[in-house]
A and B are shown apart, each in its own frame.
Chain A
């Protein structure tokens, strides 16, 4: 078997450094309050409630900042931790941020109302008017609540990606609107230039990361690489491949398994970028994605014209061949989730023994089948295809099923992309079969969107 490793090795080191930095930041944030608190801040019940509410505000805001850093596409964090995991953490952290900030709003009012012995409502009204920038802070809080509610699983399911995205982007506005009320009124900031400097630095760093990595860099790359739609090909029911042509694409360093956010320069599509994985390893001139009619936007890809200018952000994601430690790989794709698997196969085919499992509800959903078969036939037996079209009960994808299909699965590196149900089943099966969690990599194609 020829061994030609073309992909970059994956290293968790930078992710560990980032985690540690996150911890130090949290420590410094809590220290800001602890070092500026006096006896009068804890010696009465209402003072203690006020102090707790300030702590909640600090930690909640810190979590919100960290949440934004997580999805700011900082390259070394992306490469080391992986975009899907970052998004999962971002989603887990978000609600806590909202709960903590919400309790700050409530308990600071309780504390002041207790001091003044007036009703909560009139106290709330007075706080809004008596302190600087409070109306902005309230507006920011509402924006944050909207973003939170719309990201809640059940609410998220009722709206289009577009609506959700716009509401979610308002979180940046929320961060900006609530900033001044902290700096101007915050007990830990008044007369304390060092605390103020630290807090401002955090916000500046956040703004820099977002502006640089989510706006400036993608714009520069899009201009430099001049990507246009070269071809649109129908692959199966509702599935289209879009082939992009550009120049010097190798400089992007994209690998199979990664994705870009694509923004088509057509009427009605300029505002929103959409995440799609590459469905083949990129060449210096061409990149390809394969898209199913999922959202409002992907339905419209049918009408995309050849020659349309494309703006892109990326490459993102750590669903890459570089995470492999063994020469044995099992790639599992569910439905249109086969696209990054197909691209990964380009990376793996010359350096590892690969089994590809392709799950789909119907025969006609087995898209890209011809080229998958072609790769397998040219691989001298190192790539084996397993097509499984039909109802779930025929192909349970559980431990006995996978174990009998691929007896040496315990030695393999497993990559899964597909609907969440498939991922959960396979992850559980892999655990049962003795595959360590560090060797199971998965990407939910519905979620690399934030």
Chain B
């Protein structure tokens, strides 16, 4: 009896403690399940490749070598550079090809005047596993255009595709100078 009580208090305590720190987000639909947490874990390689964007190269050439290092090391000035020039970005940009366990996913975005006007999967897993991807890609495409960025909702039942889409999209946006 006493032990049952201890188990119950432990359960409620443990659950309550976690929920008070990270409350459940059941009311929200466009909260970024992947965008939020994916950034600091799986999307890490993408951020590495973010260094040699056209914008930052341009800045480097214009300034002194010493200043260039500082610019490259701190992401904030780079982002402001990107923001100031993003209005003039046009064209198609293809992201990295991402391994999603049963194949590769690659996203290509079309940017018009700094806005994402289209997003296509140029490479998707083929054969037996593509059903999940086919289900998720239209949803992810619509979301990407709607939010004009990579703050996307995880598509239920298609976690790999969502992760792959997010990662590839992010790298494409970096290439385009949108990030």
Find the A residue at minimum CB distance from B162. Answer: A190
Given contacts A23-B13, A31-B15, A39-B27, contact A192 B37 (CB under 8 A): yes
CB distance from A425 to the nearest CB of B (A): 23
Instruction: Tell me the bound Cα distance from A392 to B161 in angstroms.
Output: 70
Q: Does B29 contact A35, Cβ atoms closer than 8 Å?
A: no
Q: Give chain A interface residues in 130-163, CB to chain B under 8 Å.
A: 130, 132
* B101 CB contact (under 8 Å) in A19, A30, A115, A132: A132
User: Among residues 181 to 196 in chain A, which have CB atoms less than 8 Å away from a CB atom of chain B?
Assistant: 184-185, 187, 190-193
Count A interface residues, CB 8 Å: 39
Query: Which B residues are CB-close (under 8 A) to A23?
Result: 6-14
Binding site for A on B (CB under 8 A): 2-3, 6-19, 22-29, 31, 33-34, 37-38, 41-42, 101-102, 128-129, 131-132, 135, 153-157, 159, 163
The 8 A CB mask of A1-34 against B (1 = contact, 0 = none) is 0000000000000011001111111111011001
Closest Cβ–Cβ distance, residue A65 to chain B (whole Å): 15
User: A190 and B159 in contact (CB under 8 A), knowing A34-B24, A38-B31, A38-B33?
Assistant: yes
Q: Are B3 and A16 in contact (CB under 8 A)?
A: yes
Across-interface contacts of B29 in A (CB, < 8 A): 38-40
* Given contact pairs A28-B15, A130-B128, A22 touches B10 in the complex (Cβ within 8 A): yes
Which A residues lie within 8 Å of B7 (CB)? 19-20, 22-23, 26
Q: Which residues from A are CB-within-8-Å of B19? A: 31, 34-35
Q: For residue A40, which residue of chain B has the nearest CB?
A: B156
Once bound together, how far apart are the Cα atoms of A26 and B6, in whole Å? 12
* 16 A-B pairs (CB sep. < 8 Å): A23-B7, A25-B14, A27-B10, A27-B14, A28-B14, A30-B11, A34-B18, A35-B25, A37-B26, A38-B28, A40-B155, A50-B156, A50-B157, A116-B135, A191-B34, A191-B163
What 8 pairs between A and B have smallest CB-CB spacing?
Answer: A23-B10, A27-B14, A31-B18, A27-B15, A24-B14, A23-B7, A19-B3, A24-B10
Most chain B CB neighbours (cut-off 10 Å) among A38, A185, A187 = A38
Contacts of B42 in A (CB 8 A): 191
The chain B residue with its CB closest to the CB of A29 is: B14
Chain A at the B interface: SS class: helix
* CA of A270 to CA of B148, assembled, Å: 67
Q: List the A side residues contacting B153 at CB < 8 Å.
A: 38, 40
Instruction: Tell me, in angstroms, the Cα distance from A41 to B101 when the chains sit together.
Output: 23
Which residue of B has the minimal Cβ distance to A39? B29
Q: Is A119 an interface residue (CB 8 A)?
A: no
Give A446 to B38 CA distance when docked, in angstroms. 53
Chain A residues with CB under 8 Å of B135's CB are: 115-116
Closest approach, in angstroms, between the C-beta of A110 and any C-beta of chain B? 13
| Partner of A26 from B10, B24, B163 at Cβ < 8 Å | B10
Q: Are B18 and A41 in contact (CB under 8 A)?
A: no
Asked whether, in the complex, the Cβ of A20 is within 8 Å of the Cβ of B6, the reply is: yes
Greatest chain A CB density within 10 A among B11, B129, B153, B156 is at B156
CB of A189 to closest CB in B, whole Å: 9
Do A39 and B28 contact each other (CB < 8 Å), given the known contacts A25-B14, A26-B14, A31-B18?
A: yes
